[in-house]
Chains A and B, each alone.
Chain A
Amino acid sequence: MALPTPTLAAIRYGYGLRPGEEPPRDVEALLGQIEEGASEKPRFPREGIAGRLDTATRVVSLLAAEAKARKAGNPNEDVRKATQGEARRIYRQDAMARLAQAIHSPLGFYERLASFWVDHFSTSVMKSLPMRMIVPLYEAQAIRPNLGGSFTGLLSAAILHPAMLIYLDQDQSVGPDSVAARKSGRGLNENLGRELLELHTLGAGSGYTQEDVRAAALILTGLSVDNRAMQVVYQPRFAEAGPVNLLGRIYRDDEGDGQDHVLMLEDLAANPKTAQHICGKLVRHFIADDAPEEVVVAMVTAWTKSRGNLTEVYRAMLEHPRAWSEPGQKIKQPFEFVVSGFRALDLPERNFANLLRDMDDGDDDESPVQKAMDLTGMAAREDSKKKAGRANALTLGALQRMGQPIWQPPSPAGFADEASVWLAPSQLSERISWSRMVARIFGQKMEPSVFLQAALADAAHPETSRIIAQAPNKVHGITMVLASAEFNRR
Chain B
Amino acid sequence: MSFDNGLRLSRRGFLAGACCVAAAPILTPVSFAAMPGDNRFVTIILRGAMDGLDFVQPYGDPAYAALRPKLGLRPDTGLIDLDGFFGLNPAASALMPLWQAGELSFVHAVSTPYRDQRSHFDGQDMLETGGNGKGERTGWLNRTLAVIPRSNARKAIDINTSMELILSGPNEADSWSSQSNFALAQDEIAFLDRLYAGDPAFAKAMEEAKKTDMSADSLYGDAKRGAGIADMAKLAGGMLREDYRIASFSINGWDTHVGQQEQFKKAVGDLSTAIVALKDSLGEDAWRKTAVLTMTEFGRTARENGTNGTDHGTGGLAVLAGGAIPGGKVLGKWPGLSEDKLLDRRDLMPTGDVREVAAAMLYRQFGIEPDNLTAKVFPGLSFDTSSVYLKG
Residue B219 interfacial (CB < 8 Å):
yes
B216 in contact with A429 (CB, 8 Å)? yes
CB within 8 Å of B: which residues of A? 386, 390, 419, 423-430, 432-433, 436-437, 440-442, 444-445, 447-448, 461, 463-464, 467, 469-477, 479-480, 483-485, 488
A437 in contact with B47 (CB, 8 Å)? no
30 contacts between A and B (CB under 8 A): A390-B161, A419-B201, A423-B205, A425-B206, A427-B205, A429-B216, A429-B220, A430-B215, A432-B184, A436-B181, A436-B184, A437-B181, A440-B160, A444-B160, A444-B162, A444-B163, A444-B165, A445-B165, A470-B120, A470-B191, A472-B49, A472-B120, A472-B188, A472-B191, A472-B253, A472-B254, A473-B121, A474-B121, A484-B195, A485-B196
Q: A425-B213, A483-B192, A485-B196 are in contact. List 19 more A-B contacts (CB 8 A).
A: A419-B201, A423-B201, A423-B202, A426-B214, A428-B202, A428-B206, A429-B213, A429-B220, A433-B181, A436-B184, A469-B119, A471-B121, A471-B191, A472-B252, A473-B250, A477-B121, A480-B191, A483-B195, A485-B201
A472 to B251, CA, bound (A): 11
A residues near B216, Cβ cutoff 8 Å: 429
Query: Given that A425-B208, A485-B196, A485-B199 are known contacts, is A442 also in contact with B213, CB under 8 Å in the complex?
Result: no
Instruction: Output the least CB separation between B51 and chain A (Å).
Output: 13
User: Which residue on A lies nearest to B168, using beta carbons?
Assistant: A445
B residues near A437, Cβ cutoff 8 Å: 161, 181
Residue B273 interfacial (CB < 8 Å):
no
Cross-chain contact of B195 among A430, A444, A467 (Cβ < 8 A): A467
Q: Give the residues from 92 to 135 in chain B that come closer than 8 angstroms, CB to CB, to chain A.
A: 119-121, 124
User: Which residue on A lies nearest to B254, using beta carbons?
Assistant: A472
A residues near B218, Cβ cutoff 8 Å: 433
B124 in contact with A473 (CB, 8 Å)? yes
Cross-chain contact of B213 among A426, A440, A479 (Cβ < 8 A): A426
Cross-chain contact of A429 among B47, B188, B209 (Cβ < 8 A): B209
Q: Give the residues from 252 to 303 in chain B that come closer than 8 angstroms, CB to CB, to chain A.
A: 252-255
A residues near B215, Cβ cutoff 8 Å: 426, 429-430, 433
Cross-chain contact of B121 among A419, A440, A442, A448 (Cβ < 8 A): A448
Instruction: Output the least CB separation between A435 and chain B (Å).
Output: 10
Q: Which 7 A-B pairs have the closest CB atoms?
A: A472-B48, A472-B255, A425-B209, A473-B47, A485-B199, A425-B208, A440-B161
Please indicate which of the listed interface residues B120, B163, B212, B214 has the most CB atoms of chain A within 10 Å of its own CB: B120
Query: Given that A429-B215, A476-B188 are known contacts, is A442 also in contact with B162, CB under 8 Å in the complex?
Result: yes
Instruction: Output the least CB separation between B214 and chain A (Å).
Output: 6
A437 to B218, CA, bound (A): 13
B residues near A390, Cβ cutoff 8 Å: 161
Q: Give the residues from 184 to 236 in chain B that come closer than 8 angstroms, CB to CB, to chain A.
A: 184-185, 187-188, 191-192, 194-196, 198-199, 201-202, 205-206, 208-209, 212-216, 218-220
A residues near B120, Cβ cutoff 8 Å: 470-474
Cross-chain contact of B191 among A433, A463, A476, A488 (Cβ < 8 A): A476
B residues near A483, Cβ cutoff 8 Å: 192, 195
B residues near A448, Cβ cutoff 8 Å: 121
